[in-house]
């Protein structure tokens, strides 16, 4: 991506994401819906940000734009000083592939494929060799505490373990940003805390920037900052005392 500075030269506090006056409008005439109504939002390298708000508040639209799955109607989205709106569709796909990792509520694993093979998949799309794929996937699974589970399929894993595989898949490419959409939404309280401990460790120990949508206040406290959306606007943006 043009204008990018290598991750090793980035330091906490540098801007990685910025919205300037971002709006998103769906439909026309009487069917017009303003999902975002002029959002200003800055996220720095190494931050862990929880995005919250009721259904229809605009938080999912915000996440889709962050992940280059949708584009603003107006305003500017900057990613590491690059205007994402000026990129072609292929360039945006490369941005997703090389700089972003995605974690979903529903895990999105291939059911008949081993944990190791699920984690290797993004590297396969990159054209990495079989040896590199295996080594990096093994390392990612070790990072999330799943050493010894590499050959198990999703059906042989608990929900918490499946989400750990999904996190390993998201980090295997070494992304700058993890975008997590309700990552604990399908888990009980104990498994949810385990997943949040994994995400917190990735943020603190590896410096990965994390942006997480959640409806759960007890999960949001793991982040160092909370941004609350309502009616397409940011209504609260505050620092947060993290759980130990």
- Would you place residue 10 in the very low, low, confident or very high pLDDT band (cuts 50, 70, 90)? low
For 59-85, what is the mean pLDDT? 96
User: Residue 110 pLDDT more than 50?
Assistant: yes
Residue % of the chain over a pLDDT of 90:
87
Determine the pLDDT at residue 239.
Answer: 93
Q: pTM of whole model > 0.85?
A: yes
Sorted by where each begins, the domain ranges of the chain are: 10-239
3-state SS assignment for residue 201? helix
Angle of helix 130-143 relative to helix 159-171, nearest 10 degrees? 130
Residue % of the chain over a pLDDT of 70:
93
Cα 174 to chain centroid distance, Å, stands at: 12
The average confidence (pLDDT) of the chain is: 92
User: Residue 4 pLDDT more than 70?
Assistant: no
Helices within the chain (DSSP H only): 59-66, 89-99, 115-126, 130-143, 159-171, 189-206, 217-220
5: Cβ–Cβ under 8 A, 6 or more apart, which residues? 80
Closest of 173, 158, 85, 165 to residue 126, by C-alpha: 173
75: Cβ–Cβ under 8 A, 6 or more apart, which residues? 19, 20, 21, 22, 23, 38, 39
Angle of helix 89-99 relative to helix 115-126, nearest 10 degrees? 140
Determine the pLDDT at residue 3.
Answer: 41
Domain 10-239 homologous superfamily, CATH: P-loop containing nucleotide triphosphate hydrolases (3.40.50.300)
For 219-239, what is the mean pLDDT? 96
HSE, CB side, 13 Å, CA atoms: give it for residue 175.
29
Query: Could you report the per-residue pLDDT of 134-162, keeping only the tens digit for each?
Result: 999 999 999 999 999 999 999 999 999 99
User: Residue 7 pLDDT more than 60?
Assistant: no
Determine the pLDDT at residue 117.
Answer: 97
User: Residue 2 pLDDT more than 50?
Assistant: no
Please calculate the CA angle 133-211-160 and round it to the nearest 5 degrees.
Answer: 60
């Amino acid at each position: 991506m043009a204008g990018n500075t290598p991750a090793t030269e980035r330091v906490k506090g540098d801007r990685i994401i910025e919205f300037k006056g971002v709006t998103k409008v769906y439909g026309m005439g009487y069917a017009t819906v303003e999902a975002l109504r002029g959002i200003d939002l800055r996220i720095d390298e190494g931050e862990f940000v929880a995005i919250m708000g009721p259904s229809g508040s605009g938080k999912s639209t915000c996440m889709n734009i962050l992940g280059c799955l949708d584009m603003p109607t107006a305003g500017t989205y900057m990613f590491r000083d690059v205007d994402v709106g000026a990129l072609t569709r292929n360039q945006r796909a490369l941005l997703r592939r090389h700089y972003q990792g995605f974690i979903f509520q529903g895990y999105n694993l291939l059911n008949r494929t081993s944990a190791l093979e699920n984690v290797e998949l993004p590297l396969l799309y990159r054209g990495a060799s079989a040896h590199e794929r295996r080594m990096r996937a093994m390392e990612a699974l070790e990072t999330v505490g799943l050493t010894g589970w590499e050959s198990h399929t999703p059906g042989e894993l608990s929900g918490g373990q499946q989400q750990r595989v999904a996190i390993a898949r998201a980090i295997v490419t070494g992304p700058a940003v993890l975008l997590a959409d309700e990552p604990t939404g399908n888990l009980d309280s104990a498994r949810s805390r385990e997943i949040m401990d994994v995400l917190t460790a990735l943020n603190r120990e590896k410096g990965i920037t994390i942006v997480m949508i959640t409806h759960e206040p007890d999960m949001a406290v793991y982040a160092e900052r909370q941004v609350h959306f309502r009616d397409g606007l940011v209504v609260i943006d505050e620092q947060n005392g993290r759980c130990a």
